[in-house]
Amino acid sequence: MRLDRLFERGAAFLGAKYPIVCGAMSWLSDHRLVAAMAETGAFGLLAAGNLPVDKLREEIEQTRALTRRPFGVNLITIAPNYLDHLALVTELGVPTIVFAGSIPKGGEVARAKDSGAKVICFAATDLLAHKMIDQGADALILEGSEAGGHIGPVSLTVLLQQILFKVDSVPIFVAGGIARGQMMAHLLLMGAAGVQMGTLFVMSEECSAHPAFKETFRRAKARDAMATPSFDSRLPVIPVRALQNEGTIEFKKLQLEMMEKLDQELITRAEAQDQVERFWLGALRRAALEGDVKTGSLMAGQSVGLVDEVKPLAQIVRELVDDAERELERVATALG
């Protein structure tokens, strides 16, 4: 297949058949989903999030019990257990470690690499991309603002032009707003080593998301997935893209409440940010696992407007690959 040549670099880096990555989604990217991704020939990332260290160890061991194929672990550098998570994944010899949340210290990247792991870092801006490469990242994920959950400030189409077209020293995976094999084909033609998606894989049968959560995704339009605002520089909240509901209204109220407490010096900036992050963590769990789609957090990328059916994971991956191959054939014909 024409696609095999375009898959080659990313697949070799990940140790997978397809360089199709299921992004780490808190509460959802568990051992079941990650192992199922691996068994399709694609690549899954366990979401360390704020998990207790013993629970993350259990998730890694359960994933290994379900598949012998490679997978990775996504670490949140601002999580309370982050350094303990890093110690655990290096101890257990996880083959791929992804740093997300904020900029990891150079020593932390080196520590991961010394364990034998390949290191991937997120880049939401061009400056961050170069900084991560200088610190030793083996690969990058360019995540555009179209993505779901915590997002950066720049769209994927701009990041492609700023970084993908200019940097070839490391494999570059791309994310944000992707849910079709045709788009994947064109991103690979542009030079991407592979793609990362999350919203699409929520709609798999293997994903543990509550049926009400999936049904809300099925009915949603792309414009329904909106980024939260930031009201004050004293409370630098990372924007979160989610479907609008009562939960997003409550979040705006929380920010205003935190700013009032900051004005009155009743709370520190760090404490205010911690309350904001705890809000999202709890709200996402209520929606994703308990089905509270009214007041919970419905984190979703704008690609939610492209997903309207729950399918087996193997079928989703197969359709991505088949559609990409057909698109390459169409392009080849158009070029004569």
More confident residue, 257 or 9: 9
Q: What is the SS3 assignment for 129? A: helix
User: What distance in Å separates the CA atoms of residue 222 and residue 59, rounded to the nearest whole number?
Assistant: 32
- The residues near 2 (Cβ < 8 Å, ≥ 6 apart) are 325, 328, 329, 332
Confidence of residue 234 (pLDDT cuts 50, 70, 90): confident
In this predicted structure, what is the pLDDT of residue 231? 79
User: What distance in Å separates the CA atoms of residue 197 and residue 156, rounded to the nearest whole number?
Assistant: 13
Structure tokens at 218: 């099925």
In this predicted structure, what is the pLDDT of residue 228? 87
Share of the chain above pLDDT 70, in %: 100
Q: How many residues are given for the chain?
A: 336
Query: Exposure string (b/e) for 92-126, b if CB count within 10 Å is 16 or more?
Result: eebebbbbbbeebeeebbebbbebebbbbbbbbbb
- The residues near 248 (Cβ < 8 Å, ≥ 6 apart) are 226, 228, 242, 297
Average pLDDT over residues 200-219: 98
Share of the chain above pLDDT 90, in %: 81
Question: Is-contact 201 20, C-beta < 8 A?
Answer: no
Give pLDDT tens digits for 13-45. Answer: 999 999 999 999 999 999 999 999 999 999 999
Q: Please give the model's pTM, rounded to 2 decimal places.
A: 0.94
Give pLDDT tens digits for 75-123. Answer: 999 888 999 999 999 999 999 999 998 889 879 999 999 999 999 999 9
Give pLDDT tens digits for 121-151. Answer: 999 999 999 999 999 999 999 999 999 998 9
Residue 229 gets which letter from DSSP? P
User: What distance in Å separates the CA atoms of residue 98 and residue 182, rounded to the nearest whole number?
Assistant: 26
Which run of H or of E encompasses 47? strand 43-47
User: What distance in Å separates the CA atoms of residue 313 and residue 315, rounded to the nearest whole number?
Assistant: 5
In this predicted structure, what is the pLDDT of residue 229? 83
Q: What are phi and psi of 182, to 5 degrees?
A: -60, -45
Fold of 2-209+307-329: TIM Barrel (3.20.20)
Q: For the chain, which residues make up each domain, given as ranges? A: 2-209+307-329, 221-299
Q: What is each CA distance from 129 to 20, 51, 171, 266, in whole angstroms?
A: 21, 27, 12, 38
Query: Exposure string (b/e) for 142-174, b if CB count within 10 Å is 16 or more?
Result: bbbbbbbbbbbebebeebbebbbeebeebbbbb
Q: Give first-to-last CA distance, the chain, whole Å.
A: 18
In this predicted structure, what is the pLDDT of residue 140? 98
